[in-house]
Amino acid sequence: MPPSTDPPSSPHSPIDRTKILILGQRRSGKTSIVQVLFNDGNPKETFYLEPTTRIAKFTYEYHRHPARDMGLSWEHLPRRPQPPIAVCFYHLRDRYPGDLLRLGSAGRHPSHADSPHCTLQDSYQQPIARLLEFFTTAFGENPDMPLEVFVHKSEAFTDDYKIENFRLIHLRVNEELDDISPEYEQMPLNFHLTSIYDHSINEAFSKVLHRLIDSLPYLEQLLNVFVANSQASKTFLFDVKSRLYVATDASPVDTGTHNLCCDFVKTLTAFGPLYKSVSESPRRIQECPNSKPLFYPSAAMSLAPPSMGTTLTYHLITPQLALLSVLPTLVYESKRGLVEYNVVFFREGVQEIWQVEKDARTGQL
């Protein structure tokens, strides 16, 4: 399934889309990432993806920020990328020996299983050279362009091995940049360890997204207020379809909690169609309550033990965004009304921001 081309322009066009360039070696997993995050792809199916031989564009609308995403390989490296662009470059050696050979000078590199460490130097040399070449060009064009490096396909390795490799790549890129010129210290560069077989790709891509959201501070502030008033220990504002979080409150993100929230959203999305009734569901939606201005889906998952455990709640805020929060079960059980009241308050806040941004975009401000 190749990524779809640009959809016909929407009524509000021309929309100022934010471009995200996705670059990397062949078979490094670019198309897979796009498929898994934005096209509901199943990681296992990515095995059969056709190679991308030209620039593939596709658009994904989240909240109000349409993002354009281009997948292209080194061969198609544009000389002058136009700002504003966030760049992602992924790379980690493929676990398939055939791909290893293609990277450097053929034949010299033993496969990962034979000798995990000695190949690093050789097999990363060429990709890192390409990366540096691109980054320096991009920095020259636009020093504010955020640059993100995804060290990908990490699930195939042991923790020790992948963290060591990750550290080495990070170090190596920084050192070489430093060698070329000290001015590159200013480069807005981030590194992420990712895989499509777990939620690390969602977490890393979420962080990329955060750099593109103008209203991020306001959303974060709303979440902080929600946390303070609802005794929540953590909140995320998730894009339901891609399972990327658009914002989170000020407390640090714990990967375990993040992953569980991702899985929870995924389960809810899968449940919907299973018990949808052909005869009853439409009637139910029609007769939606007058007491609530709109029918807002919600859900909660409680963890054992009931008295001391936590509850994950889910409330849809806009057609795409859902508020996930982690609460003590006791609070959820005894003060659910208060929590829901706070959700209403939060929802109004988000919708206000949305409206302002929409007006700004269509030039009505």
Partner 1 sequence: MKKKVLLMGASGSGKTSMRSLIFSNNPASLTSRLGATIDVEQNHVRFLGDLILNLWDCGGQDAFMDSYLTTQRSTIFQHVGVLIYVFEIESRDMSKDLLYYRDCLDALRKYSPDAAVFLLVHKMDLVTGDKRAALEKKRRELQHESGDVDVTVFGTSIYDESLYKAWSRIVHAIIPNAAVLTKHLTTFAETCNATEAILFERTTFLVIATSATTRAPPSPSNAYSALTSPNSNSTTTTTVTTPNGTNTDPGANVPVSAETADSDPHELSATRYERTSELIKALKHACSRVREEFHVLEMELPEFTAVLDEMTKNTYVLLVVHDPSIGASCLVWSCPVACVGGRGADGGGGYIETAALKINIRLARKKFEELQSSSVVS
Ligand X SMILES: Nc1nc2c(ncn2[C@@H]2O[C@H](COP(=O)(O)OP(=O)(O)OP(=O)(O)O)[C@@H](O)[C@H]2O)c(=O)[nH]1
Give contact residues for ligand X (rule: CB under 6 A). Answer: 24, 26-32, 46-47, 49, 51-52, 73, 95, 152-153, 155-156, 195-197
Nearer to ligand X (CB atom), residue 139 or residue 150: 150
Q: Is 290 a binder of partner 1 (CB under 8 A)?
A: yes
CA distance 309 to 329: 6
> Hunting for tokens 């455990």 — which residue is that?
309
Least spacing, CB of residue 282 vs partner 1, in Å:
9
Q: Amino acid letter at 327?
A: L
- β-partners of residue 59 are 68
Q: Which residue among 253, 336, 354, 356 contacts partner 1 (CB under 8 A)? A: 336
- Binding partner of residue 280 among partner 1, ligand X, none, CB under 5 to 8 Å per kind? partner 1
Least spacing, CB of residue 62 vs ligand X, in Å:
21
Nearer to ligand X (CB atom), residue 208 or residue 312: 208
Q: Which residue among 5, 9, 158, 279 contacts partner 1 (CB under 8 A)? A: 279
Which 3 state secondary structure label does DSSP give 322?
strand
Nearer to partner 1 (CB atom), residue 188 or residue 272: 272
Q: How many angstroms separate the Cα of 184 from the Cα of each of 90, 132, 147, 173, 181?
A: 20, 11, 12, 11, 6
Instruction: Note whether 244 and 37 are within 8 A (CB).
Output: yes
CA distance 70 to 322: 27
Nearer to partner 1 (CB atom), residue 13 or residue 334: 334
Which 3 state secondary structure label does DSSP give 58?
strand
Binding string to partner 1 for residues 147 to 186, with x set by CB under 8 A, is what?
Answer: ----------------------------------------
What are the residues whose beta carbons fall under 8 Å from the beta carbon of 225, sequence distance 6 or more? Answer: 346
Instruction: Note whether 65 and 15 are within 8 A (CB).
Output: no
- Binding partner of residue 365 among ligand X, partner 1, none, CB under 5 to 8 Å per kind? none
Which 3 state secondary structure label does DSSP give 293?
coil
Handedness of CA 132, 138, 143, 144 (dihedral sign): negative
Q: Is 270 a binder of partner 1 (CB under 8 A)?
A: yes
Q: Which of residues 297-326 bind partner 1 (CB under 8 A)?
A: 297-306, 309-310
Closest CA to 205 of 238, 227, 234: 238
- Binding partner of residue 14 among partner 1, ligand X, none, CB under 5 to 8 Å per kind? none
Give me the residues that bind partner 1 (CB under 8 A), please: 42, 44-45, 197, 256-257, 259-260, 263-264, 267-268, 270-281, 283-285, 287-292, 295, 297-306, 309-310, 336-338
